[in-house]
Structure formats: structure tokens, C-alpha cells
């Protein structure tokens, strides 16, 4: 058990899941209700197609439902885009922004992520902004420089600290089974925390910093116990109830 920490455990389902996966959410809501978490918040971000049905389940427990992206615009001629207002309309209260897969495949820039984050925060969304370095950047010793730049350019100046979350996700750790050493996670989280402090002052204390990248039931306890880690962003291990529960079992 990871004691005395307010943790946020967020599941990113990516492009996985059909209506038949309602049973996972049903088991999860029952488990959350029974466990009655005092200090931890649990969030699942399924594809947009499932938000509506998942959020009707989540009303029966404290499970939060979120999206994996949103538009930087509110409404209008933006084909294929979905705004925070629309996501709120179907029950989402959170959004993941700037995931490395979107930065890579959709060529999302720091500026676009910044604008999306501003829009999400203005709509009172729990806004998770992802940052992280590639393996090449790490090997060249550029991790902190890259992270610093992403933080500076992706986060808005005006923030609602209660709603802003930063997820440190080393790209080489996502879906690979590789995880940085606890000491490396600590160093990067500490660096992020110092940057947030100098930019936002007192407000920074409320910004949670999550670790993401191959978190599973075997390594969760050790990662979540690291001083500067306020939770986890979980991909693969959030898809199956038994795997996700194995992580949540360490929370209270
Ligand atoms: C992710 O994609 O955000 C992620 C952390 O994935 P995984 O847990 O599968 O590495």
C-alpha cells in the first residue's frame, strides 16, 4: 500500500474498446465502490465512442471518465474535431493532451497542445498534458532540456492548478516493458516540480505529476512510492480489469 499520498491513476485506452468492454467498467465501478478510496482518484479515458455509455456507469461510483484529445476550438467549421464542451455533454470531465503518439503520428506541436490545454482548462476539465523524451534524446543526455522545452511551450501561463496535471512519459518506456530507474524518475519529476514552482509559484503545489510508461501491477507499488510521483498514466495495463485492479490495489 502506498500510504499518505493523493494519487491519480489514469487509464489511457488508446484506440481500443467496443461496447462489449462495458463489463470491464462495470467490474471497475463495483470495485471502486467497495474499496471506497479516500485519497485516490481513478480515471479511464476510452475512445470517444464509449464515453457516453461509460459515464452512465461512472455516475454510480467515483470513477471519472475522460477523453484522449480535444479541439483547441469551441465549435464551428473544424471537420472531425470534438470540443471540450461536446465531451462534457456526454459525461467526460478530463482529457489527455499531447500524448507522444499524437505528437508523433498527428504531428501535434507544443503550440497546438498549449491551445488545447487552455481550452480544456477554461472548460474546467482535468487536463493531463504529456511530455517525454525519445531514446535518442535520452542517450544524448538531452532529457531535461527536452522536458523543459515541452513544459515551457505546452502549458498555458494562466492555469487552474487544481485541474492541471503533467504526465512524464518517456517515449521509449511506452508499451515497451522498459521503465527508468526509480532514481531517474525521481530526478525528472523533481526537475518538473522545480520548473512548475518557478513558473506558477504557490499554485504549483496543486499540480499533480504522473509517471507513465509500462506501469503494471508488478512495478506500480515501487513507482507510486517515489516521493515526487503523484500517480500514474497507464496504457496497456488499464484495458483488463484484473491488470488495472492490480495497480489500484496499492492505492487507498
Ligand atoms: C501510454 O500510452 O500513455 C502508456 C503509458 O502506455 P503503457 O502503459 O502501455 O506503456
Residues 190-199: tens digit of each pLDDT? 999 999 999 9
CA of 128 to the centre of ligand 1 (A): 14
Known active-site residue 99: yes
Residue 238 is given by DSSP the state G
pLDDT attached to residue 15: 98
Mean pLDDT of the region 74-96: 98
By alpha-carbon position, which residue is closest to atom 1 of ligand 1? 235
| Pocket perturbation via mutation, ligand 1, pick of 95, 98, 214 by most ligand atoms within 8 A of CB | 214
CA 111 to the chain's CA centroid: 19
Its pTM surpasses 0.95: yes
Mean pLDDT of the region 86-93: 97
CA of 235 to the centre of ligand 1 (A): 3
By alpha-carbon position, which residue is closest to atom 6 of ligand 1? 235
Atom of ligand 1 nearest to the CA of 12: 3
CA of 61 to the centre of ligand 1 (A): 25
CA–CA separation, 209 and 229 (whole Å) = 6
pLDDT attached to residue 61: 80
Q: Cβ contacts of residue 151 below 8 Å, gap of 6+?
A: 131, 166, 192, 195, 196
Atom of ligand 1 nearest to the CA of 99: 3
Q: Is the pLDDT of residue 60 over 80?
A: no
pLDDT in tens, 24-34: 999 999 999 99
Amino acid at each position: 500500500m502506498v500510504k499518505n499520498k493523493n494519487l491519480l491513476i489514469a487509464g489511457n485506452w488508446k484506440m481500443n474498446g467496443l461496447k462489449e468492454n462495458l463489463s470491464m467498467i462495470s467490474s471497475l465501478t463495483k470495485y471502486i465502490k467497495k474499496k471506497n478510496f479516500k485519497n485516490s482518484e481513478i480515471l479511464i479515458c476510452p475512445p470517444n465512442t464509449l464515453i457516453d455509455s461509460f459515464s452512465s456507469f461512472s455516475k454510480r461510483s467515483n470513477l471519472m471518465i475522460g477523453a484522449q484529445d480535444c479541439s483547441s476550438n469551441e465549435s464551428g467549421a473544424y471537420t472531425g474535431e470534438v470540443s471540450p464542451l461536446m465531451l462534457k455533454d456526454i459525461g467526460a470531465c478530463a482529457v489527455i493532451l499531447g500524448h507522444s503518439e499524437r505528437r508523433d503520428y498527428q504531428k501535434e506541436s507544443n503550440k497546438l497542445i498549449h491551445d488545447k490545454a487552455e481550452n480544456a482548462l477554461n472548460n474546467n476539465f482535468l487536463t493531463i498534458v504529456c511530455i517525454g523524451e525519445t531514446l535518442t534524446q535520452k542517450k544524448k543526455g538531452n532529457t531535461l532540456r527536452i522536458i523543459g522545452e515541452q513544459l515551457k511551450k505546452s502549458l498555458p501561463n494562466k492555469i487552474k492548478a487544481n485541474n492541471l496535471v503533467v504526465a512524464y512519459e518517456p517515449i521509449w518506456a511506452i508499451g515497451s516493458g522498459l521503465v527508468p530507474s526509480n532514481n531517474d524518475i525521481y530526478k525528472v519529476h523533481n526537475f518538473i516540480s522545480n520548473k512548475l514552482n518557478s513558473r506558477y509559484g504557490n499554485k504549483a503545489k496543486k499540480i499533480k505529476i504522473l509517471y507513465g510508461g509500462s506501469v503494471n501491477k508488478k512495478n506500480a507499488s515501487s513507482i507510486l512510492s517515489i516521493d515526487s510521483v503523484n500517480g500514474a498514466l497507464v496504457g496497456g495495463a488499464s484495458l483488463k480489469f484484473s491488470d488495472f485492479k492490480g495497480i489500484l490495489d496499492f492505492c487507498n
